[in-house]
Amino acid sequence: MKRYLPVLALAVAVGVVQLAVRALKAEYLLTQLTMSAYYTLVTLGLCLLMGYAGQVSLGHAGFFAIGGYTASVLCTAGGAVIRFAPALSLPAGVAAAALIALVIGIPVLRLRGHYLAMATLGFGVIISRIILGTGLLGQADGISDVPALKLFAGLVLSGARPLRVQNYYTAWTLVVLGLLLSVNLLGSRVGRALRAIHGNEEAAAALGVNVGRYKLAVFVLSAMYAGLGGACLACFNGGIGPGEAGVMKSVRYVALVAAGGMGSPGATVAVSAVLTFLSLRGVFGLYDDAVFGALLVAIMLFAPEGLVGLVPARRRG
């Protein structure tokens, strides 16, 4: 049961933060807190990929954009099927990210180290240029006027003021469920196989672990996390722009995972939530990208295990 403590702590923190915001009469903060949740989904999936499969990806902003643009296009120009069942745009965004991850993952994951990082970086650049050059995707203007997305049981994805609390809990419930899935996965046979791969691929293969299949599966799963975050954020914001596919976005996600601790999904969620919220509030100003770049350098130099590595082992349990 100890492994579920981060999930429980996150669930409690979500409720406490909302009550604190209400007590301070600062409900406007819920908008940035909700957006932070969708960006945190990306870092959570990337934590699995980097911390357990040992694969560094600089292209996850591309998967985030794929999910967001797919949902946006379907919501604004999806035809009768989407008008009949608009909630299909969310799974469609996730499916698009997963499919593309599967297609590029088969050849790309044969690479290792900086070769893999450069290949995924190239993928991110390609997605960014496709967006900027495609009229259907709005080019440099992006896609706007994405309607509020009605889900089920009265839930609506929208940034409208009366729906702030509902959307806050919807977003963070997804993160809690994502963290729960990650914890269960890492505690299973799959998690043990991933740890073996991270430790030594050749030794894992000698023990009968299908290294290629596991690496590809985690790559696709991490892309699905990113695609879901992108699709939800696009519907919440009422649009999406090409900046979401930018290279610096991918660097930011890597920096957040490294800061939290590549092998600690709970710490990654906490660090990502706090720093992303501060960024969205404009705390870092014009130095926003520089702050995350400096964070990545500092973590690599002084805390390669992330902030969680600074906690004494006895306290970590």
For residues 36 and 287, what is the distance between their CA atoms, to the nearest angstrom? 19
Residue range 237-292, pLDDT digits in tens? 999 999 999 999 999 999 999 998 888 899 999 999 999 999 999 999 889 889 88
- Give me 133's structure tokens: 């050059």
For residues 111 and 119, what is the distance between their CA atoms, to the nearest angstrom? 8
Report the residue count for the chain: 317
Per-residue pLDDT of the chain (317 residues; tens, 9 = 90+): 788 999 999 999 999 999 999 999 999 999 999 999 999 999 999 999 998 888 899 999 999 999 999 999 988 875 544 554 567 889 999 999 999 999 999 998 888 878 888 999 999 999 999 999 998 899 999 998 888 888 877 888 998 999 999 999 999 999 999 999 999 999 898 888 888 888 888 888 888 888 889 999 999 999 999 999 999 999 999 999 999 999 999 999 999 999 988 888 999 999 999 999 999 999 998 898 898 888 888 888 888 777 776 665 434 44
Residue 182 contacts residue 49 (beta carbons within 8 Å): no
pLDDT of residue 84: 47
pLDDT of residue 202: 85
pLDDT of residue 315: 46
Residue range 123-133, pLDDT digits in tens? 999 999 999 99
Q: Can you tell me which residue has the tokens 């954020």? A: 233
Q: Rounding to the nearest 10 degrees, give the CA dihedral for residues 266, 268, 269, 270.
A: 90
Q: Which amino acid is at 257?
A: V
For residues 28 and 91, what is the distance between their CA atoms, to the nearest angstrom? 29
Phi-psi region of 271 (alpha: psi -120 to 50; beta: other; left: phi over 0): alpha
Residue 148 phi, psi (nearest 5): -60, 140
Closest CA to 47 of 266, 295, 232: 266
143: Cβ contacts below 8 Å, ≥ 6 apart? 69, 72, 73, 76, 137, 234, 239, 240
Q: Is the pTM of this model over 0.85?
A: yes
b/e per residue 116-130 (b: at least 16 CB within 10 A) = bbebbbebbbebbeb
For residues 191 and 178, what is the distance between their CA atoms, to the nearest angstrom? 15
| Interaxial angle between packed helices 60-77 and 29-51, expressed in degrees from 0 to 180 and rounded to the nearest 10 | 130
User: Which one-letter DSSP state was computed for residue 147?
Assistant: P
Q: Which residues pair with 149 in a beta bridge?
A: 157
| Interaxial angle between packed helices 60-77 and 89-108, expressed in degrees from 0 to 180 and rounded to the nearest 10 | 150
pLDDT of residue 312: 59
- Tell me, rounded to whole angstroms, the distance of Cα 223 from its chain centroid: 8
